[in-house]
């Protein structure tokens, strides 16, 4: 739940001030920071796998958890150059584009919070 609200909060910051989100991304371009971010992705994905059985949408949460773990494991192989290129691409598309993707992060974080907060569906 805490991780989902963190994702939503970071997204909200990007909706309000895309340049601040871009600055945060730039501060994480160092290889050591990329390893930390990759580790956080893996932790978030494993947490989703762990809570999936008790969630409202267990299969969906499992799929999302597996995807996030895989992305976290693959992230260090992409390197800082890839991260920098992605941030350059975001910046080139302008603030409206960055706000839209930040809005997706808000929606994703709130969706995860909703799905894991409630009881699992009944078998009836």
Domain ranges within the chain, ordered by starting residue: 2-117
CB atoms within 10 A of CB 64: 20
CA distance 92 to 74: 25
Over residues 25-64, the pLDDT tens digits come to 888 888 888 899 999 999 999 999 999 999 999 999 999 9
What average pLDDT does this structure show over 89-96?
A: 91
Which of the 8 DSSP states describes residue 120? Answer: P
CA distance 20 to 110: 21
């Amino acid at each position: 739940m805490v991780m989902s609200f963190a994702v939503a909060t970071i997204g909200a910051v990007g909706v309000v001030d895309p340049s601040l989100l871009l600055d945060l991304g730039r501060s994480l371009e160092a290889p050591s920071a990329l390893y930390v971010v990759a580790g956080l992705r893996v932790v978030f994905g494993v947490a989703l796998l762990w809570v999936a059985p008790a969630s409202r949408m267990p299969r969906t949460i499992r799929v999302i958890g597996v995807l996030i773990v895989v992305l976290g494991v693959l992230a260090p192989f992409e390197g800082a150059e890839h991260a920098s290129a992605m941030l350059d691409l975001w910046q080139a598309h302008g603030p409206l584009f960055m706000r839209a993707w930040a809005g997706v992060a808000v929606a994703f974080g709130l969706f995860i919070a909703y799905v894991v907060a409630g009881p699992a569906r009944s078998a009836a």
